[in-house]
Amino acid sequence: MTQNSSIGHGDNLFIDGQDLWSDLMETARFGGTPKGGVRRLTLTAEDRQVRDWFVRTCQELGCTVTHDSMGNQFARRAGQDDSLPPITIGSHLDTQPTGGKFDGILGVLGGLAVLRALHRAGYVTRHPIELINWTNEEGSRFTPPMMCSGVFAGVFTEQEVLDKRDRAALRFGDELEAIGYRGSEPCGQHPVTAYFELHIEQGPILEAEGKTIGIVTGVQGARWYEVTVRGKDAHAGSTPMPMRHDALLAAARMIEAVSTVALSHAPTAVGTVGLIENRPNSNNVVPGEVFFTIDMRDPDDAVVQQMEALLYDLLPEIAERSGVSVEIVRIWDAPAVHFDPACIGMVEAAAEESAYGARRIVSGPGHDAAYMARITPTAMIFVPCLDGLSHNEAESITEKDAEAGASILLKTVLKADAAFNNV
């Protein structure tokens, strides 16, 4: 590669949208579903396959690829001053059980498109540039989500994450070893200058307003809970209705209460029960135990706290009326995040220079960027997705919007390379 004496000679840099789209379609083969989506759960064979592809592809672009003790992958492109902490970009390659082709994946492959543009132009940035694939962003197999960016940012300890178990009681650390991606570098001991993440919006606002770029100013607060309702197993044919301790009936009332709590804090609050297990789950047995999860979110941490307090009032009341007991355990607390004003400004300036329709926006879902914002200047870029649909096999974006998002990411990286002075 030819070193540039100045970082301002990037006129020949451009994103190849066709190559980016080809990468998106190729990676969708790893865990592809009959309905056109992707099932690529963390630390599965499909996860290993896409990780291996990531390594090969980045190495072909002259990058050095490493992974840390949590399996986070780092593809490094050397800078003019390789002693500087890198400017980092990235997202995640794991998906929901019925996930789409773009959630998280666009951020990694859009970052790959940035590396490819730099490589093809022979352009060397002042800082090293690193593309990151974060382990277990989704939290669908091992909870909570964003665990390994969380370790990187000091939110969780390495050991507590290694000891997490999925619903089949398989241990995170053992599964990480099994796919061959437990590295020797302790997670978090990796310097960074700044972090930028490209992502689909996962909501309807950009599409509804005809905007191409979302300039993300922060992430709303979220809390997750695990709820266990305990009643008594009984024969469905011989147990009179007034004498039952039906855990499932009580749980149904509690699930309705979750919706009531969120609606009482409209229009910004949301509440979801997304996982439920009924035991013993037999046709002719009154259910004796039910396990379910709750996801509560709002841009205002005070509102999240109010919803939690109401939840802790309502669920025990329902349990008492229903003749059952309830245990509520908060398993994740992610306060609202406000991204770095300077980094937000870089994204905004890149969008203005490119003449894309853009607007500032707050993210409803959580992202690895939310934890990175605790330790380094951070911002995000959104592009529209059809009908705001995500965490669904029908998730869809356009090739044009994917290219636009990656182009803004490239321009933002160049601005950050010029702006940050780590000497």
Binding residues for Zn(2+) are 92, 103, 138, 199, 391
Structure tokens at 293: 């999860």
Say which residue the tokens 């840099």 belong to: 13
Question: What phi, psi does 383 have (nearest 5°)?
Answer: -125, 160
- Largest separation between any pair of C-alpha atoms in the chain: 85
> Alpha-carbon distance 375 to 339, whole Å?
11
The β-bridge relationship of strands 129-134 and 73-77 is antiparallel
Residue 409, amino acid: L
Q: Helices (H), strands (E): how many in the chain?
A: 12, 16
Q: With beta carbons less than 8 A apart as the criterion, state whether 77 and 119 touch.
A: yes
Residues that constitute the known binding site: 92, 103, 138, 199, 391
Note whether 288 and 279 are within 8 A (CB): yes
In whole angstroms, what is the distance from residue 250 CA to residue 228 CA? 11
Cβ-count burial of 80 within 10 angstroms (0-12 exposed, 13-18 middle, 19+ buried)? middle
- Collapsing DSSP states into helix, strand and coil, what is residue 277? strand
User: Crossing angle for the helix pair 105-121 and 399-419, nearest 10 degrees?
Assistant: 60
Q: Phi, psi (5° rounding) for residue 219? A: -130, 135
Residue 366 backbone dihedrals phi, psi, to 5 degrees: -85, 160
Across-strand partners of 199? 382
